[in-house]
């Protein structure tokens, strides 16, 4: 689990070792190689850059307090500042059921006030048990309503994009961000080209099925969201994969982003009120 900018590096290797102890990790570090770890559920670019100010390509980036371009100033970083900020680790513990709980927090400072004039507390709660749950809890500590767009920008690892489909959004209208047009999803989503859509669904429940060949065992992920007003589905496909320096040229083959979002329309958090966006991932096979 790589959460953008969170000071949990000391913890992640421990968690990773727990997660990966039964999986041989094949190191890859060139733009052309791919990797496929059967027990991994999240995709992380083998050439992701881990440096201040750079969003990590993969895992679960936190897009907050705006999704996409800043509503008033497009020169500001895409997807807000949370994913490149240093969070404070408020609490890490394992409960009696061996579930791991991680609580990370970000509060306003002079740099955020410049681009986001609202005193706030953003708490990211992660629970790792039979499922992986991630929630973004925003408290508006200002005396005025806060317009917020956000996303839990999860990158999922696929055996092969050609043998994968996302079920649960059939019949849903969506905004195609590539053409800025509205359309409606009919069959389950399969990916044969670049896709960048925001589906208009609240409390979406989906199944990400990979390896749909009858001959081989399917990997099935349940993705359940609450307080979402949109689900973003993104795959950069060939041209965009090549255009990103931190993304393998053939990376599109083994990843898809399915994001719990409040976008493109902002939600409004009243003064001194809070809002929580949630995504839970469960392996079903
Ligand atoms: O996931 C949807 C999206 O907004 C795409 O348009 C694409 O830009 C993606 O996020 C990744 O954005 P990033 O700023 O991380 O390169």
259 part of the active site: yes
ω before 190 within 30° of 0 (cis)? no
The per-residue pLDDT for 25 is 39
In a domain, 220, yes or no: yes
Q: Which segments are annotated as binding site for substrate?
A: 57, 78, 83
Q: What does the block give as tokens for 27?
A: 């190191």
Spatial distance between the Cα atoms of 19 and 40, rounded to a whole number of angstroms:
8
Verify whether ligand 1 is closer than 6 Å to residue 79 (CB atom). Answer: yes
Q: Is the pTM here over 0.80, yes or no?
A: yes
Whether the predicted pLDDT of 51 surpasses 70:
yes
The answer to whether 244 touches 150, Cβ cutoff 8 Å, is no
Instruction: Measure 260 CA to ligand 1 centroid, in angstroms.
Output: 13
For the chain, give the percent of residues with pLDDT over 70: 86
Kindly report the protein residue whose alpha carbon is nearest to atom 6 of ligand 1. 196
Closest CA to 158 of 40, 60, 242, 243: 40
Task: Establish how many alpha carbons lie within 13 A of residue 132's alpha carbon, considering only the half-sphere containing its beta carbon.
Answer: 18
* ipTM of the complex, rounded to two decimals: 0.98
Kindly give the distance from the C-alpha atom of residue 157 to the centroid of ligand 1, in angstroms, as a whole number.
Answer: 17
2 lines ligand 1 (CB under 6 A): no
User: In which band, very low, low, confident or very high, does the pLDDT at 213 lie, cut at 50, 70 and 90?
Assistant: low
Q: Which helix (H) or strand (E) holds 243?
A: helix 237-243
Q: Given strand 100-107, what is the order of strands in its sheet?
A: 88-94, 100-107, 120-128, 131-140, 274-283, 219-226, 205-210, 164-167
User: Is 234 a pocket residue for ligand 1 (Cβ < 6 Å)?
Assistant: yes
CA dist 268 and 29 (Å) reads 42
**Separation of 135 CA from ligand 1 center, angstroms?**
20
Mean pLDDT in residue range 92-119: 97
Q: What is the mean pLDDT of residues 213-228?
A: 87
DSSP code for 270: P
Residue 6 lies in a domain: no
> Would you say the CB of residue 258 lies under 6 angstroms from ligand 1?
no
Given a cut of 50, whether residue 33 has pLDDT beyond it is: no
110 confidence band (pLDDT: 50, 70, 90)? very high
Give every CB contact of residue 262 below 8 A, 6+ residues apart in sequence.
Answer: 67, 148, 149, 150, 151, 227, 228, 229, 230, 275, 277
**Looking at the domain assignment, is residue 198 inside a domain?**
yes
d(CA 115, CA 198): 25
Q: Is residue 265 part of a domain?
A: yes
Query: In the predicted model, what is the mean pLDDT of residues 224-237?
Result: 98
pLDDT in tens, 271-284: 999 999 999 999 99
Per the domain annotation, does 2 fall within a domain?
A: no
Residue 9 lies in a domain: no
- For residue 83, being part of any structural domain is answered with yes
Residue 196 CB less than 6 A away from ligand 1: yes
Nearest to 260 by CA among 231, 224, 281: 231
Beta strands in 111-248 (DSSP E): 120-128, 131-140, 146-152, 155-157, 164-167, 173-176, 181-184, 195-199, 205-210, 219-226, 230-235
pLDDT band for 86, please (50, 70, 90 cuts). very high
> Which ligand 1 atom is at minimum distance from the Cα of 151?
1
In a domain, 66, yes or no: yes
Please count the structural domains in the chain: 1
| Active-site annotation holder among 79, 153, 200, 224 | 153
113, 128, 121, 125: which is closest to 19 by C-alpha?
A: 128
Q: Which residues fall in the annotated binding site?
A: 57, 78, 83
Write the CATH number for 268. 2.70.98.10
- Cα separation of 80 and 93, whole Å? 29
The pLDDT mean for the chain works out to 88
Which range (12-21, 101-110, 158-167, 273-282) has the least confidence? Answer: 12-21
pLDDT given at position 99: 96
Residue 34 has pLDDT above 70, yes or no: no
* pLDDT band at residue 11 using 50, 70 and 90 as cut-offs: very low
CA of 236 to the centre of ligand 1 (A): 9
Full residue range of the structural domain in which residue 268 is found: 17-283
């Amino acid at each position: 689990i790589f959460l953008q900018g969170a000071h949990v590096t000391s913890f992640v290797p421990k968690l990773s070792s727990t997660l990966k102890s039964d999986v041989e990790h094949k190191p890859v570090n060139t733009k052309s190689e791919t990797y496929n770890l059967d027990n991994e559920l999240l995709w992380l670019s083998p050439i992701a850059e881990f440096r201040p100010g750079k969003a990590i390509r993969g895992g679960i980036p936190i897009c907050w307090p705006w999704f996409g371009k800043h509503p008033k100033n497009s020169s500001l970083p895409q997807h807000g500042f949370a994913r490149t900020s240093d969070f404070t680790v408020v609490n890490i513990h394992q409960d009696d059921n061996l579930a791991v709980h991680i609580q990370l927090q970000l509060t306003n400072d002079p740099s955020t006030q410049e681009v986001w004039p609202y005193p706030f507390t953003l708490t990211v709660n992660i629970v790792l048990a039979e499922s992986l749950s991630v929630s973004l809890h925003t408290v508006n500590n200002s005396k005025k309503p806060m317009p917020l767009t956000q996303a839990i920008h999860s990158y999922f690892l696929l055996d092969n994009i050609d043998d994968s489909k996302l079920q649960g959004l059939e019949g849903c209208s969506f905004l195609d961000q590539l053409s800025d047009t509205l359309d409606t999803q009919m069959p389950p989503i399969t990916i044969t080209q670049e896709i960048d859509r925001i589906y208009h669904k609240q409390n979406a429940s989906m199944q990400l099925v990979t390896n749909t060949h009858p001959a081989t065992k399917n990997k099935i992920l349940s993705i359940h969201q609450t307080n979402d007003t949109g689900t973003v589905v993104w795959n950069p496909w060939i041209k965009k994969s090549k255009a990103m320096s931190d993304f393998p040229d053939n990376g599109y083959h083994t990843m898809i982003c399915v994001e719990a979002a409040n976008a493109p329309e902002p939600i409004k958090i009243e003064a001194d009120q809070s809002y929580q966006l949630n995504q839970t991932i469960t392996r079903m096979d």
